Amino acid sequence: MSVQTEDALKEVGKTAALVEDGSPLQLGATGAIDGKTFKIVGRIQYQFGLGFWNEWYISIDGDDAWLGEASGLYFYTRIKKDAQIPENLEFANLYAGAPVTIDGKEFFVKDMQTSKVVSGEGELPFPFETAYEAPVVDLVRHDGTFATIDFSEDKPLVFTGRALLFSDLHLTRIRSVYGFKASAAEVAV
């Protein structure tokens, strides 16, 4: 696994093996979102109460973002470093349906999980340890905007974006798995 620093890619060590999860996505896959080309360069795999999900780290037109994947659902998000959230916001005080204001806009808690990092691969923007726990809240707005607040840091991390369909990603270089057949144009060579 490698971590991207300001001026170099640094090898940071080994992690536990990834769990086979049937994802057609893989490192090196490419696609497009809103006409902007992206490439999958890294992945963190999480385990939560009902299964696993992947957070694919993508390079999109020279910038970075995340493509969350769970049970065939996809969530495109970017970190919002300057996000304004209530100062007293705590994971333990939230519940499904609770309103949360982000940058003056009202979101509602859709899901809350304390997940555990299983493994990772490729290039990532930060180091992590296997079995690291992350209390995470997923939120939605009536307009379909999606947000995640990660409470694993002293100052919660806020990611905003939206849900996408598989077909919205215009993927190539994916893999065929569990009866899912990638077309010849999509399969990695």
CA 184 vs CA 29, 97, 100: distances in Å: 14, 43, 44
pLDDT at 146: 94
Q: Would you say residue 155 lies in a domain?
A: yes
pLDDT at 132: 83
Q: Which two tokens stand for residue 35?
A: 């006409």
pLDDT at 169: 95
pLDDT at 79: 95
pLDDT at 2: 41
Strands (E), 1-152: 2-4, 9-11, 30-33, 36-48, 51-60, 63-70, 73-79, 99-102, 105-124, 133-140, 145-150
Q: Would you say residue 174 lies in a domain?
A: no
Q: Would you say residue 71 lies in a domain?
A: yes
Q: Would you say residue 25 lies in a domain?
A: yes
What residues in the chain have per-residue pLDDT under 50?
A: 1-5, 8-13, 184-185, 189
Q: Would you say residue 176 lies in a domain?
A: no
Structural domains in the chain (count): 1
Q: Would you say residue 177 lies in a domain?
A: no
User: Which residues, other chains included, contact 79 with Cβ-Cβ below 8 Å and sequence gap of 6+?
Assistant: 66, 157, 158, 159
Instruction: State pLDDT tens for residues 125-143.
Output: 988 778 889 899 999 999 9
pLDDT at 52: 85
Q: Would you say residue 19 lies in a domain?
A: yes
Which residues span the domain enclosing 51?
2-169
Q: Would you say residue 90 lies in a domain?
A: yes
Report the C-alpha gap between 170 and 163 in whole angstroms: 15
Helix (H, G, I), strand (E, B) or coil at 68: strand
pLDDT at 8: 41
